Chain A
Amino acid sequence: MRQVLRLLSGRMKTTEDKIKLVSNLITVSGIFCIAVSLLLLINFIHVKSSKPLESKALVALVEQFRGDSQNEDLKNDIRNLDLLARKAFFTGNWQIRTGSFLLLFGGILFAGLLRIYHDMKAKIGAPLITGGTTQITRLLSQRWILIAGGLLLGSAMVASFLTTDYLKMYRETGRVAQVTQAPEVRTVEVETGDQETKRPGDQETRDQETRDQETKGPGEQRQEAGGVVSKDSIFTPPVARLQSSSARHPSFRGHWAQGISEAVNLPVDWDGPSGRNIKWKVALEKPGYNSPVIWNNRLFIAGADAQSRIIFCYDRNTGSLLWRHEASGIPGSPAVPPRVSSDTGLAAPSVATDGKRVFAIFATGDLVATDIDGNRLWAKNLGVPNNHYGHSSSLLVWQDRLIVQFDTNSSGRLMALNVNTGEPVWDHPRKTTVSWASPMLAELDGRLQIITVTSPTVYGNDFENGSELWSLECLAGEVGASAAVFDGLVYAANEYARLVAIRPGPAPEIVWESDEYLPEAASPVAGSGLLFIATSYGMFVCYDAKTGEKYWEEEYGQGFYGSPMIAEGKVYLMDRGGTMHIFSLNRTKSNLGNPVLGEKSVVTPAFADGAIYLKGEKSLFCVAQN
């Protein structure tokens, strides 16, 4: 300060004094810059690491508010804390900006003082006597230029060989990579093992796959650059998709009964009363709360009353009836059908088909198999089920086995029958109560498992031999909803019990659970990391499948008996009033439409490319964009 005053007063005469002053000012400005830089750095780290809206205190208060939404004091506390957090964040940002300007000013001052100091101190240095580039220098430069150039081109070369050209592979194979399966996966079953990797909305990959589906078979190996691609490699063709094409909805809730369809170009708008986008509509001959089932151009349903039990086959493109087959003359079939409730009926279980055969089961215990043209192959009576509402577990067929869940008030059975003869391949009795849910297939822990939901137990049985792989007592009451599966977790729920996410295995455990919204009849469905629940009192809820975090919910005046289905990146859910509620498959609620059927409906829709098949109380509909 004294030096500055001396300079200003003109008393600083010598250059040495001026140099000393400038040198001191440089030191001061340098320290100033360093100090501001450090403060800026600390502030920057703090601002970057703090997320004002995700502070633990705020999250805790919000959680508390969810359970006590009428608490005004809590509301105000949340608002105040939120405001404080935001203020702190923006104040931090302001500090960074101000600090940056200070640093800039300090930097300019520092640079200017350095220049002045340099100019004052500058003197012509001792000249170089010899110099310039010598021969050695030139040769050295040449060598190093070549080395650097060689390294550059060499690195580029190596990088080019190490890089995988995914576009080329996609062009040649038409396949995307698959999530690598566990080593125990049998490749023959890979044709059934792609459910976990494929999600609704994967229409683009499905399009590519259908190009080759006529020529590729299961477990086929392909030669790739560098060697043979093993069956378990990430580019193994997803043969499951070859069989589960978009014109096949072979059982209740589609392929493997998981509630996911690969159909595309599905309509989102129609109006039953006016006929808009209703391609055809036919009256039902017999009542039945079973859902439509599709194989290529054929659609199958069942109907039954006290007089007869019938399988119907329609042309799904025109609605014309191709054939009907009556389940009669079956040894052991009761003369008088059992008493069933009106909202179950005698034909609640959905038909199943494998494209060559069609199977149906009725509340009388009659089980019948026909060929695709309706000619009987075999039939048997399993015994009239002791079921006070009426048997409603749908059938499931895969490979050469027909899966029958036969849990009654008297006994519980899960059986696999030979599709050609009806003879048991295996028959697994179990101690459980009556269930109205249906079996589902899933690949879990490297094995194809049959998941069944009963009360109180959820089971996982081996598809091959029926052995019980795992079971967990977790439910109660009268179970109507079937399971859902996603990414290794099994979901089961029942009204007056709970919703559970189970990690199956030798020691199955509940990963998360909820008792807020529970279904009575509609089965949950999971896809794209989301789990959907539809209740009989009109709630439709979306959860995070892994954590159980609730993303959104929607309430309707009509309840849901039909199960939600995922198709083409959307969730379709029919309420009992016959209105289809369509949502985007997203954690953010996005309603895409609510077209009406014009009839009440309690069944789950079936999908094929460009069309949705719905069943009302009286009619069967085909909805397609006109």
Chain B
Amino acid sequence: MVILIWLGAFSILPAQQRFPKPEFRTDYTQPAPTTPESRATAMEFLDVAVLLAVMSLTAWFAIRKRSRKGILVLTIVSIIYFGFYKKGCICPIGSIQNVVLALANPGYSLPLYVLLLFLLPLVFSLLFGRVFCGAACPLGAIQDLLIFKPITIAPWLRKTLGIFPYIYLGLAVLFAATGTEFIICRYDPFIGIYRTHGPYLMILLGIAFLLTGLFVARPYCRFLCPYGALLNITSRFSWKHLSVYPTHCIECKLCTTACPFEAIDFPDSVRERPETRKSARRFILFFILIPVLMAAGGWIGSRSHVYLSRAHHTVALAELLISHPELRNDTDNLDIQTFLASGKSLETLAAEAQVIRDKFRTGGWILGAFLGLVIGFMTLNQLIYRRKEDYQANKGACYSCARCLDYCPVE
């Protein structure tokens, strides 16, 4: 029923061309653009409404109805709608950058629907957990469908790899804030598959992720997704969350192998409790270490501003002209030739580049301090023993995919 409604919507509400293409007298047909064409604002809000509906339904299926089948159907709908139809853009993951750029650059106007795309999944995660990841995210959905025989990853490796989403998030925020690039969009491995067009290396990377996903469940989501890093934090405070058991846990242990993402926490009865005194001492030590890590990270981050800023084209061009002035004679270098033709002096370009580099110095401080904080807290987190009475979904790591529900015999 739901699918029919969506399919009907596609046919009734065609994408409106805000700027219609010119008509040619000859039979010339314009090639299809590689990036999605801009759509009418109403259609963008429709996308928000669809997202809202999918997340709501996911929450309902996961928490109330406890139906894996329902979430599976929504997953397919998301792949079709958010993936192939909308070609993966604009997505909440990339919207982080839009929001950051709007905060850093008063001249950048953030559309309301982009803000909603950014906020809604976070709000839902505070209410119902990571329901966005469960069925709405097209990147997660395509990986989810291809989980075949998931392997168990050693906890220490899983935790260590868990740093990378925060690194990616930090870099994405830095590059967006300085107006350098939207790296989340540029290095989205699945966008080429959804658009059936893109840089070949990125398409190959996407296929590599999918093939890896046959055995390592949702590799991008678990070890790279920057939005997931935010959802991981917010969903820990969720008001309601998917539960493995409907009423109570009988500790039958049947769900222990249910989750391909190893997101089920074990109860105290089967866990080793650490020595309290030793743990407390370590806790205090590492707690004190956090500001040290932040300071060290901040200092290193600020020192890294030179090479980080080279990602910005103005800085890269200025340094290229300074370090290799003979390239002025290279008529094949379009960037340099365009600059020379612009009439702008190297002094002006260097001054602009320096302003950008100074922004990176400040941003580097923040990035480094953030990463120091993340490392500190992740380390500290290993020392915290949280009492668990039964087998529960880890609120931070659980994607609310509802796979575990069918394993629980309790009715």
**A interface, CB within 8 angstroms of B:** 44, 97, 100-101, 104, 107, 111, 114-115, 118, 124-135, 137-149, 152-153, 156-157, 159-161, 163-167, 169-171, 176-179, 197, 199, 201-205, 207-208, 528-529, 569, 586-587
Other A-B pairs, 5, CB within 8 Å; known A145-B160, A156-B303: A100-B196, A160-B304, A164-B323, A167-B322, A528-B329
| Chain A neighbourhood of B340, CB < 8 A | 201, 569
Shortest beta-carbon distance, B29 to chain A, in Å? 13
| Chain A neighbourhood of B321, CB < 8 A | 176
Q: Is B145 an interface residue (CB 8 A)?
A: yes
Shortest beta-carbon distance, A419 to chain B, in Å? 33
Shortest beta-carbon distance, A54 to chain B, in Å? 14
Docked-complex contact B346 and A152, CB < 8 angstroms = no
Docked-complex contact A177 and B379, CB < 8 angstroms = no
Q: List 8 A-B contacts (CB under 8 A).
A: A44-B200, A127-B256, A132-B271, A149-B371, A167-B318, A167-B322, A177-B323, A202-B328
How far is A569 from B193 in the complex, measured between Cα atoms in Å? 46
Docked-complex contact B271 and A134, CB < 8 angstroms = yes
Docked-complex contact A156 and B382, CB < 8 angstroms = no
Docked-complex contact B253 and A145, CB < 8 angstroms = no
Q: What is the interface of chain B mostly: helix, strand, loop, or mixed?
A: helix
How far is A130 from B345 in the complex, measured between Cα atoms in Å? 70
Task: Scan residues 370-397 of chain B and give those whose CB is less than 8 A from a CB of chain A.
Answer: 371-372, 375, 378-379, 382-383
Known: A114-B146, A128-B257, A167-B318. A202 touches B325 (CB 8 A): yes
Q: Is B357 an interface residue (CB 8 A)?
A: yes
Known: A101-B196, A104-B196, A129-B270. A204 touches B345 (CB 8 A): yes
Known: A124-B254, A133-B155, A152-B167. A176 touches B322 (CB 8 A): yes
Q: Nearest CB to that of B268 among chain A residues?
A: A132
Docked-complex contact A153 and B382, CB < 8 angstroms = no
Docked-complex contact A157 and B375, CB < 8 angstroms = no
How far is A139 from B383 in the complex, measured between Cα atoms in Å? 8
| Chain A neighbourhood of B196, CB < 8 A | 97, 100-101, 104
Docked-complex contact B160 and A153, CB < 8 angstroms = no
Q: Is B324 an interface residue (CB 8 A)?
A: yes
Q: Is B274 an interface residue (CB 8 A)?
A: yes
Cβ-defined partner of A126 (8 Å) among B255, B257, B301, B329? B257
Docked-complex contact A127 and B254, CB < 8 angstroms = yes
Q: Is B247 an interface residue (CB 8 A)?
A: no
Q: Nearest CB to that of B258 among chain A residues?
A: A124
Stretch binding the partner chain, chosen from B131-139, B216-224, B347-355: B347-355
Docked-complex contact B306 and A163, CB < 8 angstroms = yes
Known: A160-B306, A201-B340, A528-B329. A167 touches B319 (CB 8 A): yes
Shortest beta-carbon distance, A128 to chain B, in Å? 4
How far is A139 from B258 in the complex, measured between Cα atoms in Å? 26
Known: A153-B371, A167-B322. A203 touches B253 (CB 8 A): no
Q: Is B159 an interface residue (CB 8 A)?
A: yes
How far is A125 from B260 in the complex, measured between Cα atoms in Å? 12
Docked-complex contact A104 and B193, CB < 8 angstroms = yes
| Chain B neighbourhood of A145, CB < 8 A | 159-160, 163, 375, 378-379, 382
Interface residues contributed by chain B, number (CB under 8 Å): 69
How far is A171 from B407 in the complex, measured between Cα atoms in Å? 67
How far is A24 from B300 in the complex, measured between Cα atoms in Å? 56
Shortest beta-carbon distance, A487 to chain B, in Å? 9
How far is A35 from B159 in the complex, measured between Cα atoms in Å? 38
Q: Is B156 an interface residue (CB 8 A)?
A: yes
Task: Scan residues 301-349 of chain B and give those whose CB is less than 8 A from a CB of chain A.
Answer: 301, 303-304, 306-307, 315, 318-319, 321-326, 328-329, 331, 340, 345-347, 349
| Chain B neighbourhood of A144, CB < 8 A | 156-157, 159-160
| Chain B neighbourhood of A134, CB < 8 A | 271-272
Q: Is B115 an interface residue (CB 8 A)?
A: no
How far is A529 from B407 in the complex, measured between Cα atoms in Å? 74
Docked-complex contact A163 and B328, CB < 8 angstroms = no
Cβ-defined partner of B265 (8 Å) among A127, A132, A160? A132
Cβ-defined partner of A124 (8 Å) among B159, B303, B329, B407? B407
Q: Nearest CB to that of A157 among chain B residues?
A: B300
Docked-complex contact B155 and A141, CB < 8 angstroms = yes
Docked-complex contact B146 and A111, CB < 8 angstroms = yes
Docked-complex contact B156 and A140, CB < 8 angstroms = yes
| Chain A neighbourhood of B193, CB < 8 A | 104
| Chain B neighbourhood of A152, CB < 8 A | 163, 167, 371
| Chain B neighbourhood of A165, CB < 8 A | 306
Docked-complex contact A159 and B148, CB < 8 angstroms = no
Docked-complex contact A138 and B350, CB < 8 angstroms = no
Cβ-defined partner of B148 (8 Å) among A118, A126, A127, A148? A118
Cβ-defined partner of B270 (8 Å) among A132, A164, A171? A132
Docked-complex contact A153 and B297, CB < 8 angstroms = yes
Docked-complex contact A177 and B157, CB < 8 angstroms = no
Docked-complex contact B274 and A176, CB < 8 angstroms = no
How far is A404 from B308 in the complex, measured between Cα atoms in Å? 56
| Chain B neighbourhood of A147, CB < 8 A | 160
Q: Is B266 an interface residue (CB 8 A)?
A: yes
| Chain B neighbourhood of A197, CB < 8 A | 325-326
Q: Nearest CB to that of A137 among chain B residues?
A: B155
| Chain B neighbourhood of A111, CB < 8 A | 145-146
| Chain A neighbourhood of B296, CB < 8 A | 153
Shortest beta-carbon distance, A103 to chain B, in Å? 9
| Chain B neighbourhood of A169, CB < 8 A | 322
Docked-complex contact B354 and A167, CB < 8 angstroms = yes
| Chain A neighbourhood of B270, CB < 8 A | 129-132
Shortest beta-carbon distance, A551 to chain B, in Å? 10
Q: Is B12 an interface residue (CB 8 A)?
A: no
Nearest 7 A/B pairs, CB to CB: A132-B266, A204-B346, A127-B253, A149-B375, A160-B303, A128-B256, A141-B159
Shortest beta-carbon distance, B57 to chain A, in Å? 20
Known: A204-B346, A586-B331, A587-B331. A166 touches B159 (CB 8 A): no
Task: Scan residues 350-367 of chain B and give those whose CB is less than 8 A from a CB of chain A.
Answer: 350, 353-354, 357
| Chain B neighbourhood of A137, CB < 8 A | 155-156
Q: Is B252 an interface residue (CB 8 A)?
A: yes
Docked-complex contact A176 and B346, CB < 8 angstroms = yes
Q: Nearest CB to that of B272 among chain A residues?
A: A134
Known: A128-B253, A160-B307. A135 touches B274 (CB 8 A): yes
Which of A118, A130, A161 lies at the interface centre, i.e. has the most chain B CB atoms within 10 A of its CB?
A: A130
Docked-complex contact B324 and A177, CB < 8 angstroms = yes
Which of B145, B155, B349 lies at the interface centre, i.e. has the most chain A CB atoms within 10 A of its CB?
A: B155
Docked-complex contact B325 and A148, CB < 8 angstroms = no
| Chain A neighbourhood of B274, CB < 8 A | 135, 138
Known: A101-B196, A152-B163, A207-B345. A114 touches B265 (CB 8 A): no
Known: A128-B256, A145-B163. A201 touches B328 (CB 8 A): yes
Which of A114, A131, A137, A157 lies at the interface centre, i.e. has the most chain B CB atoms within 10 A of its CB?
A: A131
Q: Nearest CB to that of B157 among chain A residues?
A: A144
| Chain B neighbourhood of A148, CB < 8 A | 160, 163
| Chain A neighbourhood of B315, CB < 8 A | 167
| Chain A neighbourhood of B357, CB < 8 A | 167
Q: Nearest CB to that of A211 among chain B residues?
A: B347
Docked-complex contact A138 and B383, CB < 8 angstroms = yes
A-facing mask of B92-103, CB < 8 A → 1, else 0? 000000000000
Shortest beta-carbon distance, B163 to chain A, in Å? 6
| Chain B neighbourhood of A529, CB < 8 A | 329, 331
Which of A97, A132, A146, A159 lies at the interface centre, i.e. has the most chain B CB atoms within 10 A of its CB?
A: A132
Docked-complex contact A142 and B256, CB < 8 angstroms = no
How far is A178 from B167 in the complex, measured between Cα atoms in Å? 38
Shortest beta-carbon distance, B290 to chain A, in Å? 12
Docked-complex contact A142 and B323, CB < 8 angstroms = no
Docked-complex contact B155 and A159, CB < 8 angstroms = no
How far is A382 from B366 in the complex, measured between Cα atoms in Å? 77
| Chain A neighbourhood of B256, CB < 8 A | 127-128, 131
| Chain A neighbourhood of B160, CB < 8 A | 141, 144-145, 147-148
How far is A596 from B247 in the complex, measured between Cα atoms in Å? 97
Known: A133-B271, A149-B375, A167-B315. A528 touches B257 (CB 8 A): no
